[in-house]
Amino acid sequence: MLTRQEIETGYPQELEAFAGLLRTLSDDDLALPTRCAGWTVRDVAVHVIGTLADVSAFRLDGLATPETHARWLQERDGRSGPELADELDGLTKASNDLLAGFDDAAWNGPVPGPVAGTIGQGIEALYYDTYVHNDDIRSALGQATATSPGGLKASIHHIAFVLEDQGHAPLSLALDGVDPVDVGGGGQTVTGDAHQFVLATTGRRDPSAFGLGPEANIYRDA
């Protein structure tokens, strides 16, 4: 995973960039479909905000369920892009305060509940989630990818962790612009564009473009 300093520095910046994107969105933009099946731009935005709101309040049960997503949408019904951005700005400050309150033992300790990894890896997962959903919205708007080096690096490390946790065959990720990362101690070498690899391993592209099978999609069972 990334170092604690990398996460604590980069994640708030990723949230700030996401809020900046939300401020540009009209109601018509929020209604656009995205490459996340069945989700509009509003759904994607509310997912990022709702996840951070619940995590910051230690409401960790059911984060990935349709019922929780429906609650998040209901709680934010009718809000404009700028209003959603205002909420995210407030949550970013709260999350910064929360991160600062973890000592190193807690940071490296387990996530509460049935989630694999440490607190630090859980925050890295949020970092990745914000990065990739920023790109989902940009894609829906027809905008170019705005790759942040920190967000991209966090995404590669998170995906490597999940692939290893899911029992994927060992891999050596030697992707463009990102330091090498091993899965399961290293194995088949995977090269190419790091951002496209993120898309390919999260169901947004075909993993075969990287010589990988469908098991490389970390959401294949979702």
Tens-digit pLDDT profile for residues 103-141: 999 999 988 766 778 999 999 999 999 999 999 999 999
Q: What residues does 171 pair with on adjacent strands?
A: 183, 188
Alpha-carbon distance of 146 to 85, in angstroms, equals 18
pLDDT of residue 63: 83
In this predicted structure, the answer to whether residue 222 has a pLDDT above a threshold of 90 is no
As a whole number of Å, the CA-based R_g of the chain is 17
What confidence tens digit (pLDDT) does each residue in 137-188 have? 999 999 999 889 999 999 999 999 999 999 999 999 999 989 999 999 999 9
Listed by start position, the domains of the chain span 1-146, 152-222
pLDDT of residue 118: 92
Provide CB contacts within 8 A for 38, sequence distance 6+: none
Residue range 1-146 forms a domain whose CATH class is mainly alpha
pLDDT of residue 221: 81
Looking at residues 11-23, what average pLDDT do you find? 97
In this predicted structure, the answer to whether residue 213 has a pLDDT above a threshold of 70 is yes
* Ramachandran angles phi, psi of 143, nearest 5°: -95, 155
Looking at residues 45-53, what average pLDDT do you find? 96
> pTM of the full predicted structure?
0.95
- The residue that leads in pLDDT, 75 or 63, is 75
pLDDT of residue 113: 66
